[in-house]
Chains A and B, each alone.
Chain A
Amino acid sequence: MQKKLILDSDLLDITLNRLCQQLIENHDPFDQTVILGLQPRGIYLAELIHTKLERELKRSIPLGYLDATFHRDDFRRREIPAKASETRVPFVIEGKKVILIDDVLFTGRTVRAALDAMIAFGRPEKVELLVLIDRRRTRDLPIAADYVGKYVDTIDTQRVLVEWKAQGNKQNKIWLINKDK
């Protein structure tokens, strides 16, 4: 198994700052905007961005977690049912601008399921998607991100590994992994 570092801690910080600036450009003063991190791994990125935004803007911004497990389209098409995580949406999304946040955008199926899951909480005015890594030309569905940390060209046998400090890793690092066949 080969591992290649795509983003290290310092570079990641620069990327996150840029994403935050882009969000501020479009959403300032953030009074109608909420952030939803996608379970299970998008929540760490959502938390980092949320903390940066609150520090920068000196105001509180609603943050929630969304789990799309029960809305997935591969149920009964895989051997084991996917395990669900907690959904926590402690605010009203009706009429709000929602920023969905996930770590890696690959086939787009998780995002589709997440859109479905989100609608159960109301009708947002607008939904945007922010991802840290966009794996180009791998989409199964017509889904695109509005904010992208980094574009990566990959082939089928490769996988993107995201390590977060919040998950117990030493540093935030993003890797590209070549799976052995």
Chain B
Amino acid sequence: MSKLSQRHLLGIKNITRGDIELIFETADNFKDVINRPIKKVPSLRDVTIANIFFENSTRTRLSFELAEKRLSADVVNFSASTSSVKKGETLLDTVNNILAMKVDMVVMRHASVGAPHFLSKHIKANIVNAGDGTHEHPTQALLDAFSIREKLGSLTDKKVAIIGDILHSRVALSNIFALQKMGAKVMVCGPPTLLPKFIANTGVLVELDVRKALEWCDVANVLRIQLERQQIKYFPSLREYTLYYGINKKLLDDLNKQIVVMHPGPINRGVELSSDAADSQHSIILDQVENGVAIRMAVLYLLAGATN
């Protein structure tokens, strides 16, 4: 089968392992396309895609826009800060107005959990979730898993530690689902205040000591401290966080083994990851960015192609 089980990509939770494998195989081909002299294919020539971002984004939005343009789709961009949302329009009205202009697909980021799920029940266009609050960020998880697969050959039985602000991270949850579906073992590590209370119910290991987590894992996916989402203080100071949970090159070199370091960006250099670690040979951070375009091309291609 070369068709996804879903019409939308709302989260990793509701897609299957087969879906993920199909996306990976398609992304392999698109990765080849974006490394050619002419990086464009005409597949989505008659498809219009709206990128609706109710929350700030640089990487994801650029990556989606590039993916859409490399597939020859027509792209319209929308950001909440410059729109009528400020005047009090509802989400459904905003999106319906955009769809009335004959848009086929919607890529959406929203600060509220479940916003794309809500939309998917009310509109006909295919929806790709580009991050909903602290819930899911499926394309990031897919590109992370794809990058690990590329680096280590497969995901089966690989040990992946997700380190940092798990509580406020949509990347963490989507990553947990994606990695587990592909047969990897997952551990989360961070200060107890930044670990969700029932996270162990998802089947992940929980570790409070970053050194032990690094010793255990093949891959460390380091997450940003999301200060903008933190209404109260979860730890005394950034300096203290860096002291206990910051990852630097010395820490990695002392491990005496090969380790892969990932970060979904944006990096707070010197907080969760030091500059020398982010730029070291362990890091595949820029590969993640390149793979992001290929993965998003694959997702858009597969969703747009299933027309029934």
Contact = CB atoms under 8 A, between A and B. Distances in A.
Given A86-B32, A87-B29, A122-B37, A80 B42 contact: no
Interface in B95-134: none
A88 to B, nearest CB: 8
A80 B304 contact: no
Contact of A80 (B2, B37, B38): B2
Given A84-B26, A116-B42, A76 B37 contact: no
A81 B33 contact: no
Contact of A76 (B1, B25, B41, B307): B307
B2 A83 contact: yes
Contacts of A151: none
13 contacts: A67-B29, A69-B29, A70-B42, A75-B44, A76-B47, A76-B307, A79-B3, A79-B306, A81-B3, A83-B2, A83-B26, A86-B32, A87-B32
Contacts of A78: 307
B301 interface: yes
A71 interface: yes
Contacts of B307: 76-79
Interface string B198-221: 000000000000000000000000
Given A77-B307, A79-B308, A80-B2, A70 B41 contact: yes
Nearest to A78: B307
Contacts of A86: 28-29, 32
Contacts of B46: 76
Interface of B: 1-3, 25-26, 28-29, 32-33, 36-38, 40-44, 46-47, 71, 301-302, 304-308
A120 interface: yes
Given A75-B43, A76-B46, A87-B32, A81 B37 contact: no
Contacts of B40: 120
A59 B36 CA distance: 28
Interface of A: 67, 69-72, 75-87, 116-117, 119-122
Contacts of A69: 29
Given A82-B2, A120-B38, A75 B305 contact: yes
**Interface SS of A by simple majority:** loop
A113 to B, nearest CB: 9
A81 B41 contact: no
B42 A71 contact: yes
Contact of A121 (B29, B37, B47, B308): B37
Contacts of A76: 46-47, 304-305, 307
Nearest to B40: A120
A70 B304 CA distance: 12
A77 B3 CA distance: 14
A70 B308 contact: no
Contacts of A79: 3, 306-308
A69 B233 CA distance: 52
Nearest to B33: A70
Contacts of B71: 70
Contacts of A117: 41
A72 B301 CA distance: 13
Name, among B25, B29, B37, the residue most crowded by chain A CB atoms within 10 Å (CB to CB): B29
Name, among A69, A77, A80, A87, the residue most crowded by chain B CB atoms within 10 Å (CB to CB): A80
Nearest to B4: A81
A14 B44 CA distance: 43
